[in-house]
Structure 1
Amino acid sequence: MPKNSSDLTPFAIAAMPQSSSKFSEDKLLWNEALPGGCHWSGVLRRGNTLRLTDLQGLANVSALFFNQEEKTERYNMPDTLKAQHTAFLTAGHACYSDMGRVLCSIPEDSCGWHDTFCGVLDSASMEKKYGLLNYQTARNNMHRSGQEGLLTELTKWGLSRRDMGPSVNFFSKVTSDVEGKINFDTSHRASGQYVDVRFEMNVLVLLSAAPHPLDPRPDYAPGAVRLSAWRSGTAGADDACRLSCAENERGFINSERWFL
């Protein structure tokens, strides 16, 4: 395994595309609103970036990532955290697959902290906390759990409950105190915060905008999110995500070799 870019062949170095990750209207592919509580899935191609924007300061977006070409390869939370010596994600971090490849990375983030280990709100916990409000009663204002939303999207792609793994919870901050108690930071989110997720492979992305399982608000009122995708290019040789640690450089190389 190469330890740095100098160990690569000239062909491999030349094959590394340069990134221009700054958002600009001329590179925009599409915009879409994701209402609070709803869910979404789609394929983001290598070299595209998806910006998630918290429109009301109330959002939680639970995300799962799969290699679109081989869905048995998916986001691996333990490897992602231990490779980068972190317990949360923010700018400069990458999301690893269980094959040691970087599926996506975070070149920009105005939020600063995204939860990685609390998982999604399940239907039983949702009903206990917020009460049951189904489609027959409330139509589009029904209560949806993160678990239900992601399972719905998994089914659309030939996947099932067994493919449900740990998610990234964008816009939610969870910390632990000296006694080991986990605390949800209610002051962390703010209207207009955004995070850019740049895709280094062709990735199937599944999103749920249901409440975080530890959100202490008593009412079911998850915030809406704007999704904006544009052509950004992938991580260049001097990219901050690539250079943030030696493990990341190797992970990006592994992704690039998939496309050689």
Structure 2
Amino acid sequence: MNQPIFNDLIPGASHWSMMIPAGNTLQFTDPEGGANVSLLFYNPQNLLERYNAPDTLKCQHTFRLTEGNCLYSDMGRIFCSIVRDDTQWIDTVGGVANKQKVADKWGHRDYQKDRNNWLQNGYDSLLVEVAKYGLGKRDLAANLNLFSKVYTDDQGNMNFAQDHSKAGDSIALRFEIDTLVVMTTCPHPMNPAAEYPHKPVALQLFKSEPLTADDSCLTHCSENGRGFENNQRYLAVSSCCGH
């Protein structure tokens, strides 16, 4: 992989966003083990277009995501491709915790009294971040949870896999169209830890390698081929229109 364009470290229980241009790869690394990154994606040219979890899962016939899968918008386009996943399982169904769930599990702290030691929740973190772009509650779709695994047992009950992500594990997303990425490093809502986990996540942005005909994300299934074709048409029209 090329030299990184930039490096950053996002503290635990934080939120952030950035616009990633097409042709770049954003790599997330868990420095300590046990991290969680909740992600949403939007089209910065049209914020009504956003990540669609049901379409992403059903068109690739999967309950979990990992290397080789793509992340779809609700317009049938591919925001990004998962080109590396050391954990081999990205949670798609766990969602984020709200203020009450965090308080019930880990107690209540607020910023006014506890400053950076307060107990932030994923829902409010995402809500604060999308508000920077004029978005609100109705714009929060189902999210991804990097470094977390939720699986079902024989009775259909959902279970959280403890110690799923190890120190040094990385997940890399290659962006196929310009994408607004919104994230929070608040703990997963099903995390059973006795103490609120403040787990940081390192970020690196790289220039992507050119897409090849045998790319594992492109060839993963026929639907992905159609998704990349939708991207090509969208990018061609956007280029003609000067976007």
Please say whether Structure 1 and Structure 2 have the same fold, judged by a TM-score greater than 0.5.
yes
Q: Determine the C-alpha separation between the residues in 2 that align with 1:237 and 1:231.
A: 19
Does 2:30 correspond to 1:30? no
Aligned to 1:98: 74
Does 2:144 correspond to 1:168? yes
Aligned to 2:239: none
**TM-score of the aligned structures, taking structure 2 as reference length:** 0.95
Contact 2:80/2:175 (8 A) holds in 1: yes
Aligned to 1:66: 42
Contact 2:34/2:163 (8 A) holds in 1: no
Aligned to 1:13: none
Contact 1:198/1:234 (8 A) holds in 2: no
Aligned to 1:6: none
Q: Could you report, residue by residue, the CA deviation over 1:2-56 in whole angstroms, capped at 9, with x for unpaired residues?
A: xxxxxxxxxxxxxxxxxxxxx222xx21111111110110100000110000011
- Give SS of 1:73's match: strand
Q: Which amino acid in the other structure matches residue 202 of structure 2?
A: R
Q: Determine the C-alpha separation between the residues in 1 that align with 2:29 and 2:19.
A: 19
Q: Could you report, residue by residue, the CA deviation over 1:181-219 in whole angstroms, capped at 9, with x for unpaired residues?
A: 111000311000000011011000000000101001121
Q: Which amino acid in the other structure matches residue 196 of structure 1?
A: A
What CA RMSD, in Å, does the superposition of the two structures yield over aligned residues? 1.0
Q: Which amino acid in the other structure matches residue 250 of structure 1?
A: R
- Give SS of 1:153's match: helix
Q: Determine the C-alpha separation between the residues in 1 that align with 2:204 and 2:114.
A: 29
C-alpha distance 234-153 of structure 1, shift in aligned 2 (>3 A): farther
Q: Which amino acid in the other structure matches residue 92 of structure 1?
A: G
Among candidates 173, 177, 183, match of residue 201 of structure 1: 177
Cα offset, 1:236, TM superposition: 2.8
Aligned to 1:216: 192
**Equivalent residue runs for 1:78-157 within 5 Å:** 78-157=54-133
Cα offset, 1:233, TM superposition: 4.3
Q: Determine the C-alpha separation between the residues in 1 that align with 2:12 and 2:79.
A: 26
Uncovered stretches (5+) of structure 1, i.e. residues with no partner: 1-22
- Give SS of 2:229's match: helix
Does 2:51 correspond to 1:75? yes
Aligned to 2:164: 188
Q: Determine the C-alpha separation between the residues in 1 that align with 2:38 and 2:200.
A: 13
Q: Which amino acid in the other structure matches residue 76 of structure 1?
A: N
Q: Determine the C-alpha separation between the residues in 1 that align with 2:96 and 2:13.
A: 12
Q: Percent identity?
A: 43
Among candidates 12, 16, 23, match of residue 47 of structure 1: 23
Aligned to 1:5: none
Q: Determine the C-alpha separation between the residues in 1 that align with 2:40 and 2:209.
A: 22
Contact 1:37/1:143 (8 A) holds in 2: yes
Contact 1:50/1:228 (8 A) holds in 2: yes
**TM-score of the aligned structures, taking structure 1 as reference length:** 0.89
How many pairs are equivalent? 236
Does 39-48 or 217-226 show the bigger shift? 217-226
Q: Determine the C-alpha separation between the residues in 2 that align with 1:236 and 1:121.
A: 39
Q: Determine the C-alpha separation between the residues in 2 that align with 1:210 and 1:187.
A: 16
Q: Determine the C-alpha separation between the residues in 2 that align with 1:111 and 1:203.
A: 24
Q: Determine the C-alpha separation between the residues in 1 that align with 2:210 and 2:159.
A: 35
Q: Which amino acid in the other structure matches residue 227 of structure 1?
A: L
Q: Determine the C-alpha separation between the residues in 2 that align with 1:131 and 1:189.
A: 25
Report runs of 4+ in structure 1 exceeding 6 Å deviation.
none
Q: Which amino acid in the other structure matches residue 57 of structure 2?
A: L
Cα offset, 1:256, TM superposition: 1.5
